[in-house]
A = this chain, B = another copy of it.
Amino acid sequence: MARTAAPGSRERILRSAGELFYRHGVRAVGMNQVIDAAGCGKNLLYTHFPSKDDLVTAYLRGCRRERERAGAAAAEGLPDDPATRLRALVAEIAATATAPDFRGCAFRLYLAEFPGDAGEPGRVARDYLRDTRAEIDALVARLGVTDPGRLADRIWLIVEGLYGSAGRPDAAAAAETATGLVDDLLAAER
C-alpha cells in the first residue's frame, strides 16, 4: 500500500455535478463536463458512480438531504404548533426561492425533463414530492380545522406556485406573495 485515497473526492465530484445538473439540466450536462468541472479523471468518477444514472440519483438524494436539513433548521427552536410550523415551512421555501441562483425545485425540474422516468432518479424525485405533501397534510391535520383536506390542498398549491415561479423575474414577488397568502389562509381558519 502506498497512498490513501482522497476522502473528499466523492463529495467534490457530487457537488460539481450537482451544480451543473441544477443549473443546466440533467440531460444537457455530459459526463465529460462533470469531469472537467470536478477536475478529476474519468477513472475516479466512474469508480464512485458507475453510471450517469447513479450520479443523478446521488445528486437528487443529496438535494433531498439538503432540503430536509434546511427544513429542520427552519423548524428548530419553534414551538410545536402546527400553524407556526406551517408558516415556517412555507417561509423557508420562500427564502430558498429568493436566492439569486435558485432555478426551481430540483425534483420538479428533473421530472419536467424526464416525465415518465421509471428509474431510480424518478423514484427519488417522486418520493420526495409525496413525502413533502404528506408532511403538509400531517401539519394541517393537527390544526383541527373543519376541512383539513381543502386547506392542505391550498397550501400545497401555493408551494407549487412558489417553485414554479422560480428562475423568472417574479421569484422575489412570489416569495412574499406565498408567505402572505398562507398567513391569511391560516388566520382565516383560526
Contacts and interface: CB of A to CB of B under 8 A. Distances in A.
Interface of A: 23-25, 27-28, 103-104, 108-109, 111-116, 126, 129, 133, 150, 153-154, 156-165, 167-168, 170, 173-174, 176-178, 180-181
A165 B160 CA distance: 6
B129 A115 contact: no
A113 B177 CA distance: 26
Main secondary structure of the interface of A (DSSP, over half): helix
Given A177-B150, A180-B150, A164 B167 contact: no
A36 B103 CA distance: 35
Q: How many copies, total?
A: 2
Contacts of A114: 25, 28
Given A25-B27, A111-B167, 4 more contacts: A111-B168, A153-B174, A153-B176, A159-B161
Contacts of A111: 167-168
A151 B163 CA distance: 19
Contacts of A167: 111, 115
A116 B167 CA distance: 10
A157 B161 CA distance: 5
